[in-house]
């Protein structure tokens, strides 16, 4: 398994990038969000990767962040969602937006992606919400020392953010230490973003 690539960009395309590492050019399919974040051809870049192994081909998908890679893998776990659809979703929505859409049951947000109709969007929401439920998401108490059952209240932004981050593959135990100091009254998407930034700094 190739976890990441770090090398010179030698070619870009609307759907992929080629990174040269050790004299070998690796073609990585990528989202528009990742492609927009890359430096120019000739400069160095690092991508996290996911390898797709099929009977007729072995391909790499590249991601600018681990959050995007984790979200891609979660989407790929849904029946009916292949690499093309998962990349399409992450080309129009950030991982935070995907997580929030699932948390809020907003299937319309997912239909903005090419190849995602209403039925598939609803299936994605349903199956990922089931995954969140299996994790037993709870809302942390004010001192983060213990957890209390999450309730759909105006002050439940932290609980919503924890549930949304589960879509990206993070468990409550993993994210709660990084939420210390984050204002619980912030919008859910902002809490998600700040938590991911804190995780990335570790």
Both 46 and 80 in a single domain? no
Query: Taking the model in full, what pTM does it have?
Result: 0.78
- Residue appearing with tokens 């990335």: 200
- Say yes or no to pLDDT of 199 above 50: yes
Domain finish residue from 83, 109, 131: 131
Both 13 and 51 in a single domain? yes
Q: What is the mean pLDDT of residues 14-21?
A: 96
- For residue 31, the model assigns a pLDDT of 97
- For residue 38, the model assigns a pLDDT of 96
Domain finish residue from 63, 93, 112: 63
Q: How many domains does the chain have?
A: 3
Both 181 and 146 in a single domain? yes
Q: Encode pLDDT of 55-81 as tens digits.
A: 888 999 999 998 899 899 989 999 889
**Where in 31-132 does DSSP place strands (E)?**
44-53, 58-63
Domain finish residue from 104, 131, 158: 131
Q: What is the mean pLDDT of residues 23-37?
A: 96
CATH code, domain with 75:
1.10.150.20
- Structural domain of 114: 70-131
- Residue 65 is encoded by which pair of tokens? 């962040």
- For residue 133, the model assigns a pLDDT of 64
- For residue 60, the model assigns a pLDDT of 96
How many CA atoms lie within 13 Å of 194's alpha carbon, on the beta-carbon side? 17
Count CB atoms within 10 A of the CB of residue 137. 20
Q: Encode pLDDT of 109-150 as tens digits.
A: 999 999 999 999 999 999 888 766 655 544 343 333 333 333
The CA distance from 48 to 15, in Å, is 16
Residue pair 64/97 in contact by the 8 Å Cβ criterion: no
Both 57 and 75 in a single domain? no
- For residue 143, the model assigns a pLDDT of 39
- For residue 166, the model assigns a pLDDT of 82
The CA distance from 15 to 30, in Å, is 6
CATH code, domain with 36:
2.40.50.140
């Amino acid at each position: 398994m190739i976890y990441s690539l770090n090398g010179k960009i030698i070619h870009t395309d609307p759907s992929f990038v080629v990174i040269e590492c050790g004299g070998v050019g690796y073609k990585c399919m990528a989202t528009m969000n990742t492609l927009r974040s890359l430096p120019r051809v000739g400069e160095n870049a690092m991508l996290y990767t996911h390898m797709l192994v099929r009977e007729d081909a072995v391909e790499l998908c590249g991601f600018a962040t681990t959050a995007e890679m984790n979200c891609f893998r979660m989407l790929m776990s849904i029946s009916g969602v292949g690499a093309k659809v998962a990349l399409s979703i992450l080309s129009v929505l950030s991982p935070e937006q995907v997580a929030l859409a699932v948390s809020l049951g907003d299937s319309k947000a997912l239909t903005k992606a090419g190849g995602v109709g209403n039925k598939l969007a609803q299936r994605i929401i349903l199956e990922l919400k089931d995954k969140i439920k299996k994790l037993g998401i709870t809302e942390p108490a004010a001192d983060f020392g213990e957890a209390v059952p999450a309730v759909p209240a105006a002050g439940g932004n932290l609980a919503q953010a924890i549930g949304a981050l589960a879509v990206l593959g993070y468990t409550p135990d993993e994210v709660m230490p990084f939420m210390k100091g984050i204002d619980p009254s912030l919008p859910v998407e902002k809490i998600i973003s700040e938590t991911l930034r804190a995780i990335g700094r570790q």
